[in-house]
Chain A
């Protein structure tokens, strides 16, 4: 350790080290990307299915998704926002249909990173199921939004005239209020903001009271989307 190193050596050494590390990471990241993307897509489908009470595994998610869900795409009301948003790369106004109503995607930011979720509504804007997930919220605190316990609090709430928000000691009879996560205030605020945004998008869709015949609205939606 008594050997001395010149500044020149130190600079070159660190530069080479960093470039080598970057090269290795790039190669690995690019080569594993397809597998990771596949996992993420399957997970997204699992989440969507879960909002309507269908438990899917990573393997049968594709099949069950095609069986229960159809993708509805309304033209984006604000196309400028469509591209910069989205954890999984979908546009904000994309939504999904099941035979009892629609499922709206939500995206937002928590304390440490992105949070997202899906809300299944019937045609009267009652929540029939919800699911949330996050990239890196603190486990046990903000990370609790991903738990079933938290998601279940949303069932029976409403998204008709205003968005659902999270509150401390929420009034359970209030259809727009859900108990926040204790110890996860920042994440809870993120969820509230996300719900508001989702509500705004959902109102723009203007399909709250579309008749509950499963396939026709989807057809219309597709036609409208292609126009």
Chain B
């Protein structure tokens, strides 16, 4: 692998003509062919990747200006639709689906001269924390093939950690970018809700879903964010607000920046090595001039219950569209009789995996007559309390730091048969999702056995720049702490 395998180096060298987009894409494809049979980050490798790269080189040869991601191979989570390229969302339901349009994020990447190298594995419909719920088999963690890369964007994280692409796109509903970033030693960023268009993202829980980047370094993630962020008239929740200069935010001094540390995130269940690693990063930030102080987020322990009511309720509604009529799988059932209701039931039974069915059932239950107030409305009120916790804490601090996950990557199969244990693993990422805040995971020192650990940084709505400044300050302080892509 060449040394300068980060988003900015690749794009800037392609723009200067020092390397060709074709050579970068060839290297990426060769790497995928070499290591992905053992990792399974990709569900689909783009047949036209080299054509896309050559088109970038030809553009340069014609003297046309190149975009900020010129020739950069980008792996796309299979939850985002890509025109003419199979898109499955990790589900049997969509195993033969070829979308007729591009998600806005995908269209923006193309316009920035990126090369869409392929589609990455994920938990089915983004429901899971380990990529084991993919209908096409799990992804393995490049740092230890017996362990999960996290989820649901596990394929996108593993593609970057395995040096198959310098960056990738994921989606985060309750931690699906940050937790896999933490497990794989990559940088993963969930923007403010509304910052990035959700148009063409196959919906899971619409009030929470947000698209964001993975990259080998903080500035790389910042550059990708600057390409995909911004108002989109096709998404009614997309905010029409100025996009920050994310790349310039990296490297800015963090002297005087107030960093809150929530006591509730350093509680029972936190692995001691993860705690040690995160506390070391906080000490280093103090050394860089940050003012680190405790804050309290008292409703943290209600986040898992709140999230699993609201997210499943929204999912049960969103996934009603998979009915065997307009696209995707159709099954008439064992009888083969042409009956509409039987077709709906048989299609959904055959197309959805166990976790998706479990969440549709839970979501339908909490919305059903007699239970709506006790569960759904109650959870919406709990969401208000969790939001207020953050509003109050952010009166005294500029960012809040915590572990991204209570443990390093767990073993494949370890939690797969215990859905509640799997849900509880999301405790540190769910609150920022419920509050709609920007949040990211940056690698800190690995455990004694070499497993990556992630520092989570959360900021006020739309203050990705402050978050990136702190992330890049930590990255600069501890270059040795970064877990390199697996050779």
A and B bound?
A: no
Identify the A interface with B (CB < 8 A): none
